[in-house]
Amino acid sequence: MATNKNKLYCLIYRVRAQGFSVSIKERTIYYNCNDPQSVETKSIRRLCAEYGFVRQATII
């Protein structure tokens, strides 16, 4: 269980380093709606597939 949790936080760290905002409580990844292709990175796809995160566009 601990290694699975470590993988989750490692992925979240990578996504945040790319400039995305991540809410762990809501399991949501916020991204800029002007650049929708940037959300298709490997880390984000893995968070959505394995841990149930969703993507939410924000208007800036």
Residues whose CB falls within 8 Å of the CB of residue 47, separated by 6 or more in sequence, listed in order: 8, 11, 12, 15, 29, 53
pTM here? Answer: 0.84
Residue 19 is part of which domain span?
A: 2-58
Per-residue pLDDT of 2-52, as tens digits, reads 678 899 999 999 999 998 999 999 999 999 888 777 788 899 999 999 999
Residue 34: exposure state from Cβ atoms within 10 A (0-12, 13-18, ≥19):
exposed
How many domains does one find in the chain? 1
Helices assigned H by DSSP within 1-60: 2-17, 42-51
